[in-house]
Structure 1
């Protein structure tokens, strides 16, 4: 593994965007840019940012205009691919944001160049996975970057009617995160949430020839975007019981 990512970079000459540099950036810079600018405004400290790459104009090599953040899958131990390398792992493009000033096609350039750098940085990475949020589209950018498409699943989200904050359903069922569980489920019981589902599209870019994903590859999807309102029927008595037990532990 090449841990000296600072000495790796890609120079890209483009007719429309000028001369660009893609290189490694510190996790602290990537995290700050994502929290401030990405539509989610969220960062997962447990899995995000093992490798982080920024995009710069060659004439301003210290002014980062976007980042691609690569880290671990939500469940790193999930057996969803095969490869003969016992250390093989599939990383995930967790977050990406690019300043609008860079113009059209900058996303594809950053993805392509950062994958080249990943390949050189960590030979045990055998593929890159990313998910397209159906609220924004179906992942046309990944098609342009030659990712393969492996279907979609539905993801449930909750929007706070008072604050507009979006919450993933997982926080409402994970009792190991006491404070998050309590806050989210009290809001649920108070009726503070609008609940909706979106399609989440899975794309994978293989880096090694012997990588095999366990699901079938599919034709690229037709373009669509949006969200669908739904009801979420839950056992409110069980929620109340969990809240009481967690409060007892916190107060003990």
Structure 2
């Protein structure tokens, strides 16, 4: 069963179980329940960058939400992640949903592909060189805040693979697709790299 759960429950679980171990912003969250046991959590929230929202949907940035955490217990059967997310998406209001697969953790976004998310390439693909990050001294501080709060060294970003989809009924989805400014590419023809690579579209 997939149903909404309290945001505090979702944030606490993903902080403990998700590989990032950080609480995300949460606007919508759903649990995967099996015999009343919570076996998975997916959260959707406002992206941390308003610039990102404007880039995705300049005409109405508020329509953009991010699938920012997904955790499913390892005891669940194969393909539980895609089954879970598909049912959570159906419970969302009409939105453009973006998400990223982080190649620095070995992720390429196979769950999103199985869900027929559209593939939009990778972050910073128009740059010649990778973007630098200040690595914070305090591991609980996000890298974007490290410069102001004390940083240890600089690391260069690996690409994150960009995916997007739309929710709502057929008319809603068609309308939102017309608003979305992210690309709809073929990941087979333009596979995402594991290290920074420039590719101008």
Same fold? TM cut 0.5: yes
Matches within 5 A, 1:91-130: 91-118=65-92, 122=93, 125-130=94-99
Structure 1: how far apart are the matches of 2:85 and 2:6? 17
Structure 2: how far apart are the matches of 1:109 and 1:168? 31
SS at 1:142 equivalent: helix
Q: CA, structure 1 residues 209+88, in 2 after alignment: closer, same or farther (shift >3 Å)? A: farther
State whether residues 120 and 182 of structure 2, in contact with CA within 8 Å, keep that contact through their aligned partners in structure 1. Answer: yes
SS at 1:138 equivalent: coil
Query: Does 2:71 match 1:71?
Result: no
Match in the other structure for 2:165: 205
Matches within 5 A, 1:124-143: 125-135=94-104, 136-143=106-113
Structure 1: how far apart are the matches of 2:81 and 2:2? 12
SS at 1:201 equivalent: strand
State whether residues 156 and 169 of structure 1, in contact with CA within 8 Å, keep that contact through their aligned partners in structure 2. Answer: no
Among 32, 54, 70, which residue is 2:31 paired with? 54
Judge which range, 202-211 or 33-42, deviates more.
202-211
Unaligned 5+ segments in structure 2 are 125-130, 168-172, 197-201
SS at 1:74 equivalent: coil
SS at 2:43 equivalent: strand
Structure 2: how far apart are the matches of 1:130 and 1:82? 14
Instruction: Find runs of 4+ consecutive structure 1 residues off by over 6 angstroms.
Output: none
TM-score of the two chains, using structure 1 as the length reference: 0.62
Unaligned 5+ segments in structure 1 are 1-20, 174-180, 229-252
Q: CA, structure 1 residues 81+40, in 2 after alignment: closer, same or farther (shift >3 Å)? A: closer
Query: Does 2:55 match 1:80?
Result: yes
Alpha-carbon displacement from aligned partner over 1:104-127 (angstroms, at most 9, x marks no partner):
111101110100111xxx3xx332
Structure 1: how far apart are the matches of 2:64 and 2:42? 16
Count of matched residue positions in the alignment of Structure 1 and Structure 2: 179
Among 153, 157, 167, which residue is 1:193 paired with? 153
SS at 1:198 equivalent: coil
SS at 1:64 equivalent: strand
RMSD: 2.8
SS at 2:174 equivalent: coil
State whether residues 137 and 224 of structure 1, in contact with CA within 8 Å, keep that contact through their aligned partners in structure 2. Answer: no
- When Rg is computed on C-alpha atoms for both structures, the one with the higher figure is 1
